[in-house]
Structure 1
């Protein structure tokens, strides 16, 4: 279903979802322009010019948890730039239906815009069961960009896949400043503070490390609240190497994620781009140096 270059390919997915009653996955074309959601509701639209050219709305059936279509393409076209209010849906399609730039948000579980990009070849929107802590469905957006890794969605993955969770702010945190030390004992170089308790207390943590002088080792290690929890990472290279580690340290809101560095001999240890990603879902960290 769909016009103007967009496509909605959901029939086989819905069959599967009626079996597990957990997720709805919709694959669309490059013209996806807006998504409106509230607990148990998903709406998808494509746009060209000044109005929506295709749209569809699904609702989770309260009785059996299955997804069902409740508004068809023709009805969706009349929703341009309007607030939707009903007993089961309260969301907003905000601003122009044609977007550029990065994702913007307007409230909890509301997309006020999703950027268009010609190289987006696949977009998947996934709604999982409601989060018991908030009562809101967890909503994920995933895009595959053939030419640019994560151009319009923040959360980067391998193979040019980007992903973001939108019911909590800050799914990924990257502290990009470069810090250095010439000390031969462990010295704190990078630090960020968690603003959310990660699912299962697990984080994926990355950082970049390089030496100031070649062929002499420098070392960096991930710490939690001043105590080492990561593997000692060592390099003699004067170009940055990215190190990645999944750490199960019962991380909790308020914890500090730190990178300590040291040198062996006369050298300078450089650390940059502390990247913190929840290995499950949710917000990660703020601030830091």
Structure 2
């Protein structure tokens, strides 16, 4: 490598049970160590995560729960992983946001003495994004072999974007040709966002969830029961208006369902029960 090393450098990649840095676990770890003299050594192990592998992760990695059931846990491998890495600097692809934080979580979870600080971190994805332009002009040059001559004119930019889109459809024959499929493909990550800001998610059965903070993953309906004031906090806080609009609509839907449930329950009450309920109401 055309690289000046003063100490060992380890490139790493992790396959995990999912994409939550705090909760998900390693199912496979690969490390390639390069010394200052240019020698290289490799370490690769499957890991029993002790928690289920998500369906999405299994589909992407090809690693299933059964395949790692008899593999050693991270705690059993921790000493040899730490010894292989030593005091090396670390690198990977999107590693600053994912792989390195996940590795740190695994060591912290078992109270291991491995220290993640006092070393340098190289994220190859960030180098790629900074060295190769990700602008509309760069896309136009790449796909259409034409330079942009009137950038930041709205109509011109729109025409260029349409030309790039047409070129993408021609360049990639396997790319979906329907708008719904393309919308799904072009969505960032695998998260089913309900709003553009990604503050609200959506379950497969259509329930709106919070997608951040202490209630991440919980449905709005459940949080409305456990912490009614959370909705009011979001309405008063500095969130996008569209997010607030969708959240307000969801709360109205929840209130309507509650009302219908009460009416349904009341319709099944006997005359005596209804009279008792009215008497209690007047007493209050």
Shorter-chain TM-score: which interval?
under 0.3
More helix, by proportion: 2
Give me the TM-score of the superposition, normalised by structure 1.
0.23
More strand, by proportion: 1
Select the structure of larger CA radius of gyration.
Answer: 2
Q: Which has the higher contact order (CA 8 A, sep 6+)?
A: 1
Give me the TM-score of the superposition, normalised by structure 2.
0.24
